Structure 1
């Protein structure tokens, strides 16, 4: 069944939450670059350091100690752990550009699920918006994208990353039918943190950052990208239709590129600027249209 559109103000709030969440998640690339631990260690700290903040949010939301994860929250945590693990394998196994392009195909998998399983209608504005977002992402990557047979394992990891994020996205949306955004984010993040701790202990030579600046980068990664990014995503998913919600996360690429330019001095050309514009235009075309609530009839 397709989702009945929410009233205008509630829908606008949900879209705003998703946009802010996508931009916050895009900042994760910057914080990982500034951290002085390995990729799997930074993924663990991203979730572990977020837990106290998320616990406070969950307890403020429910007024009591959080319960054990339900099935949807447990799956969301496992899927997000898979997303982060394969994302870092993709970064190590192929070019950053290839990893970014393949990882951002997650909206395509969400759309496929929505059309085939949820029976969402594929409207022309939605299809055009999806195509523009994909084109914009390719333009942002520019000529850095390349195909090389020796990079195929890393490319495959990038594609698996997208599938895991799509599954995480849908699991969070299902969990929001039962729990509030704070509780869902806390429960799923706790599960992810346990999985990533095991992975980091096996694959990383050290877990502890060696400098204050590295520790602060990890704290920022946790607060901005995990608490802010994932939390706002959970807020918006209770309102926004799934396909458009997934499309919003193309803004992660825009956020990462903009911060790389502003903070790391990574130059952006006209092609990258056009790519960002195409993504914004695609989201504008695909935006959900709210149906105003009709006024009550007079007795």
Structure 2
């Protein structure tokens, strides 16, 4: 049987989407509002664009029997993503962009843990070996923060906590994809996430409103580049590439974040952190290849 030709356009889209999401931490750091407010504006500014897309796709959704109404699963998606995004943006306030982004990419491991505990799913030796490698890498990565204590350790802890809610969000989204189109799913979940974040954005110390017109630019970058450009482009790529290539997006996001943070903020990565980050990324990559 002839092999299916490699889709170079989809692969380029996958890399571009991963790079776009990798800049999320950079835009958050450049904003002048409090961390939760930057997460709120990221969702609110993206919502009108996503709703425009969803409304244009509504006729096609109904034609193929997909839902367009609000449901419990969409509320859960918005709730989990709101909690994850709020915690992750807060972690960026205390630790480096590279650490927060690396730790947030451990979601596949938490998903596997849930599948094992809740459904008794069995995994290959390759997956288990990759998971062990990733966990060792995570311990090495946060080692300098643990030794020094203070805000960096808090930030790393928050980054690790955020990935548990991101794993829950991914599990809910996976179930919702059977009933909703990507456009409708993203529009509803983004709106609900904004609603979840709103009271916390007002309550948290620090500015809620950007100081001037220029201060809106990082927030627009979060909404248009990270939220819409990253997630939407990757969603397109996943539909045209083998599932194993999803690991590429996990590798390109923290790499982008680390390089950009070094260039813009001067955030240097020590040799231990560099080694731990490399082990973490390799572990995630091999665990995804060995996932059964």
Report the TM-score when normalising by structure 1.
Answer: 0.73
Q: 1:221 to 1:172 in 2, by over 3 A?
A: same
| Aligned pair partner of 2:21 in 17, 22, 25 | 25
Contact 1:132 1:282 in 2 (8 A): yes
Task: Give the distance between the partners of 2:288 and 2:153, measured in 1 at CA.
Answer: 35
**How many Å separate the matches in 2 of 1:24 and 1:120?**
33
1:168 aligns with 2:169: yes
Deviation (angstroms), 1:277: 5.1
Query: For structure 2, which runs of at least 5 residues remain unmatched after alignment?
Result: 62-66
**TM-score, length of structure 2 as denominator length:** 0.75
- RMSD (Å) for aligned C-alpha atoms: 4.1
Matched ranges for 1:11-160 at <5 A? 20-63=16-59, 67-91=68-92, 95-96=95-96, 103-135=104-136, 143-146=144-147, 148=149, 157-160=158-161
**Which has the larger displacement, 258-267 or 107-116?**
258-267
Q: Cα distance 1:239–1:117, how it changes in 2: closer, same or farther (>3 A)?
A: farther
Deviations along 1:210-269, one digit per CA (max 9) or x if unpaired, are 233321111011111111233345556778999995895465332211211233343446
Q: Deviations over 1:136-158 (max 9, x none)?
A: 55666673454648988766644
Q: 1:156 to 1:205 in 2, by over 3 A?
A: closer
Check whether the contact 2:36–2:90 (CA below 8 A) recurs between aligned residues.
no
Change over 3 Å in CA distance of 1:179–1:47 after alignment to 2: same
Q: Gaps (5+ residues) in structure 1?
A: 1-6, 290-299
